[in-house]
Structure 1
Amino acid sequence: MSNLIPTNSGVDNSKDSKLNTFTSLSSWMDDLFSRNLGNEFMSNFNTGMTLPAVNIKNSNDEFIVEMAVPGLKKSDFDINLDEKVLTISAETQNQNEEEHQNFTRREFGYSSFKRTFTLPETVETEKINAKYHDGILEVHLPKREEAKKKPPKTIKIS
């Protein structure tokens, strides 16, 4: 068994000894409060959905925003464009109730997330589309014609 706070076997009244004890106590307090206290308690509660991971692909013709959000339906998503800000959000609610002769059990949960992206001027906003398949949401952001990378042009000398 280890001590939480190191103790000195002998008594030393020097300033260095008091400083070391204070530093050890300070480190112990930092360790105590930097731990995730209560995770065991909170693991039994629905604390909401975390922000989903996002990949952004950049091809010659478009940007593709991929978001891993399994377990949702297409109707759970809300995708909006306001000026040059793309907002992707989802909200789900579920409720389960069981009634038996001597007891009633009722569980409910709520999850949501919201991600926003500022689009570059090169996106053709009128042609944005989205699809959801196998837990992956894809938002296709086509580039304007003038923004597409053109192949190198060889110039002949006359």
Structure 2
Amino acid sequence: MSTLTYWNPLRDIQDLQSRVLNALSTGSSRTAANKTDAPAADWVPVVDIIEDEKEFLIKAELPEVQKENVRVTVDKGRLILSGERKFEKEESGKTYHRVERSYGNFLRSFNLPENADADKVEAEFKDGVLRVHLPKQEKAKPREIEVKAE
């Protein structure tokens, strides 16, 4: 009986990058900014970012991800999409001949545009697509100041 092996080229590249960076840095030179509590990403969902006069809209494809396994966070000028797509439990009597889709944790992070209103971000999840709405702030309108004479 053969063993099923999952190949994720992105993970291989990330592992290599981590090993190279760890080899080049010393423990004392690592800063708190390099350490994160976020889970490592096993895959990266694809996104579209669309802008109109009212908002920025981010659409992320998350097929077969349950709503309960999706998190949207706004923190310090960053929008973070994270969660997990769980692998179907292998059942006896089934043989997987190929597994190309990625499973596990995912993480996407974006800098918020200066004119995005971080306090009014909304997210909706339907048909495997996460839609994050980033409303734009109203621009301050120039106003004329009356000059008074004494």
Give the structure-1-normalised TM-score. 0.53
In our comparison, the structure showing a higher alpha carbon Rg is 1
Counting aligned pairs with the same residue, the percent is 33
Work out whether 1:52 is the aligned partner of 2:12. no
Cα offset, 1:97, TM superposition: 6.5
* Equivalent residue for 1:81, pick from 74, 77, 81: 74
Alignment of 1:3-152 (within 5 A): 44-47=4-7, 50-94=43-87, 96=89, 111-146=104-139
* Rounded Cα–Cα distance in structure 1 between residues aligned with 2:88 and 2:82: 21
**Residue type of the alignment partner of 1:58:** E
* Rounded Cα–Cα distance in structure 1 between residues aligned with 2:52 and 2:85: 33
Cα offset, 1:96, TM superposition: 3.1
Hey, what does 2:99 align to over in structure 1?
Answer: none
Give the structure-2-normalised TM-score. 0.56
The number of residue pairs the alignment matches comes to 98
Cα offset, 1:73, TM superposition: 1.1
- CA gap of 1:92–1:68, structure 2 versus 1, over 3 A, is closer
- Given that 1:66 and 1:139 are in contact with CA atoms closer than 8 Å, whether structure 2 keeps it comes out as yes
What secondary structure sits across from 2:139 in the alignment? Answer: helix
- Given that 1:46 and 1:110 are in contact with CA atoms closer than 8 Å, whether structure 2 keeps it comes out as no
RMSD, aligned α-carbons: 2.9
**Residue type of the alignment partner of 1:45:** T
Name the structure, 1 or 2, with higher relative contact order (CA <8 Å, separation 6+).
2
Cα offset, 1:91, TM superposition: 1.5
- Ranges in structure 2 where 5+ consecutive residues have no aligned partner: 9-41, 94-101, 141-150
Cα offset, 1:145, TM superposition: 1.1
- Given that 1:87 and 1:117 are in contact with CA atoms closer than 8 Å, whether structure 2 keeps it comes out as yes
- CA gap of 1:70–1:99, structure 2 versus 1, over 3 A, is closer
What secondary structure sits across from 2:113 in the alignment? Answer: coil
